[in-house]
Amino acid sequence: MLVDALSLRQRYMQHSGQSFLITTAHFLASLSNGKSVEKKPARREQKKSTEAYPHDHPVNGDPFHCEFLPKIGFRIGTEEGIYRVYDSNNQSRYPVVDRTTFIRDFSVVYRMICDGPLKSYCFRQLNYLQNKFHLHCNLNENRETAAQKSIPHRDFYNIRKVDTHIHASSCMNQKHLLRFIKKTMKTSPNDLVYVDPITNTPLTLEQVFQAMNLTTYDLSVDMLDVHADRNAFHRFDKFNAKYNPIGQSLLRDIFIRSDNYIGGKYFAQILKEVMFDLEESKYQNAELRLSIFGVSITEWDKLAEWAICNSVYSDNVKWLVQIPRLYDVYKANKIVDNFQTILDNVFRPLFEATEDPHSHPALHRFLQHVVGFDSVDDESKSEGIGFYVDSPLPANWHMADNPPYSYYLYYIYASMVVLNSFRRERGFNTFVLRPHCGEAGTVQHLVAGFLLAESISHGLLLRKVRYIITLFYYLKLNVVNPIQYIYLNGTYSGPLNKE
C-alpha cells in the first residue's frame, strides 16, 4: 500500500515538473524492474559552477531584464475548468491528470488511513525511527559537537539560511514598522495617500493621522498591536486582525499594500529596508509571499508593475504567490459569478504572458523571480461539500458555498501543470505548489497536499495520521511550521514525537 501511494505521488510530480526524492524514485524503479535494492555507499556530488544555477549568484545590471520571445500563435482556452494550450491543428499540447483520475487516486490514498495492519506497521516503524535517533544522539552527540567546533568561521549565524514562510506584509518586525511609520510622518506628511469615500477628496498622511487623533509622539509598539499573542489562539479572525496597525485597516492599506492610492510606494520602501538588512547579514535569505486574490484580471499586471517601478528586488529574496480561498466572500459581495472567474483571473494572464511576452511585458519580467504558488485560508472552516465526480465544474459552481480544500488545490495544480509544460518548452522558469496544509480541519487536506504539492506549510495534523507521516518520511517531504503560527494553533511537537 505504501508503495502504491508513493507511485501515485511520483506520477503527479512528474506531470507537474516538481521535485521527487531521487532515492525513493530509484527504489520504485527497482521494484518495477523486479530487482532487489542494493545499498550503495554514499557518493558526494561534484561541485558545479555558478553557471549551472543561474539564479544562485548576484544579478548584475537590471534584475528584471530578460529576453522577449516572439508570439508563437498557440490558442489558450479552458476545458472542464483547466487551462489548456492548443496548436494550429486545435490539438491540446500538454497532458494533465483529469479530475476523475485525481478523485479516484485521492480516494485510494485516503482509504489507506483506515487500514489496520498498515496503521500498526507505521506505528512500529515511526517508533523504531525515533528510538534509533535517540540512540544516535546518545552515542554521537559529543563527537558531532566537537566536529562542529573544529570548523572555522561556521556557526548558526554564518551559514546560509532561507525563511520560506514569510508574508511580505509582515516580514518586518513591529519595531521596524513603528520606526518606518514615524519616519514617514516626519519626512512626508504632505503626501496624498488616501481618498475620502464620502467627500471624494484626497487626504494627506498628516490629515489621515489627525482624523485618527494620533501623533508620532503617541505611537508605540504596544499601540501598534501587530504582534500575534496568545489571544489569537485558535482565532483566525484575530490573527488576521494583527495585520492592521493600531487596529486600523486604513493604515494597512496605506503602508503595507502594493495596490493603493500611492501605488504601494511606502510598502516598497519598507520592503527594500528589510531586503537591505538581509543583504547586510549576508547569510540570510527569504521567500516572501505576495497575494493574488483572483478578483480582477489586472491583478498580476499591477503587482508586476509595482515591483518593477519601485525596483523591489534583492539577490536574497524570491517571491511566492498565495491565492486565498475566499470564493464565498467574493460571491456574497457579488464580485465574481462563479469559481471559474477566479481561475481565469489567476491563470489567464500567466498563459498570455508565456504565449506572447509582449502582451504583458511587466508580468513577463516579474515572473522570472516567482518560484511558485500557495493556497491560504482558515482550514478549520467546516466543509459541507466534498469533491466528488459529480461535483460542479468551476464554470457551474454558482452556489454561495466555498469549494472544498481539495477542489481548490486540484484546479490550481492542474492549470499549473499545463503552464509549467508550456513555459518549459518556451525556455522560461517553472513553478511549484507549496500550500498551507494540515494547519487545522480534516486530514483530507494532507492527502491532497501529499498528492499535489511539492512541500507544505504547517502539517500540524500529521501527528494524528501516522500513515501520512510515514509517507512524508519516505519522501523527505518538507514541512515548514512558522513560529508565529504556534500562537494560532497551539504547541507544535514534531510529527515523530509521541502524542
User: Which residues does the annotation mark as catalytic?
Assistant: 458
CA 113/CA 117 separation, integer angstroms: 10
Single-letter code of the amino acid located at 480: V
Q: How far apart are CA 179 and CA 134, in angstroms?
A: 46
Cα angle for residues 271, 213, 265 (degrees, 5° grid): 20
Which residue pairs from 82-88 have beta carbons closer than 8 angstroms and sit at least 24 positions apart in sequence? 82/411, 82/414, 82/415, 82/418, 83/343, 83/347, 83/348, 83/351, 83/415, 83/418, 83/419, 84/418, 85/351, 85/355, 85/418, 85/422
How far is 381 from 404, CA to CA, in rounded Å?
10
In Å, what is the CA distance from 373 to each residue of 17, 280, 435, 480? 14, 28, 7, 15
Grid-cell match 475548468, residue found: 81
Burial of 40 (0-12, 13-18, 19+ CB in 10 A): exposed
| Host H or E run for residue 201 | none
Nine-digit cell string for 350: 500567466
Close Cβ partners of 210 (under 8 Å, ≥ 6 residues apart): none
Task: Please say whether the beta carbons of 424 and 93 come within 8 A.
Answer: no
Contact present, 493 and 38 (Cβ < 8 Å)? no
3-class secondary-structure state, position 195: strand
d(CA 459, CA 438): 4
Which helix (H) or strand (E) segment holds residue 250: the answer is helix 249-255
Vertex 59, ends 58 and 60: CA angle to 5°?
Answer: 115
Alpha-carbon span 483 to 364, nearest angstrom: 34
Integer Cα distance of 15 and 424 in angstroms: 12
Secondary structure of 356-382 in HEC code, one letter for each residue: CHHHCHHHHHHHCCEEEEEEECCCCCC
> For residue 380, which amino acid is it?
S
Angle at 26 between CA 20 and CA 32, to 5 degrees: 110
β-strand partners of 457: 436, 480
Neighbours of 55 (CB within 10 A): 12
Closest C-alpha to 172, from 289, 274, 97: 274
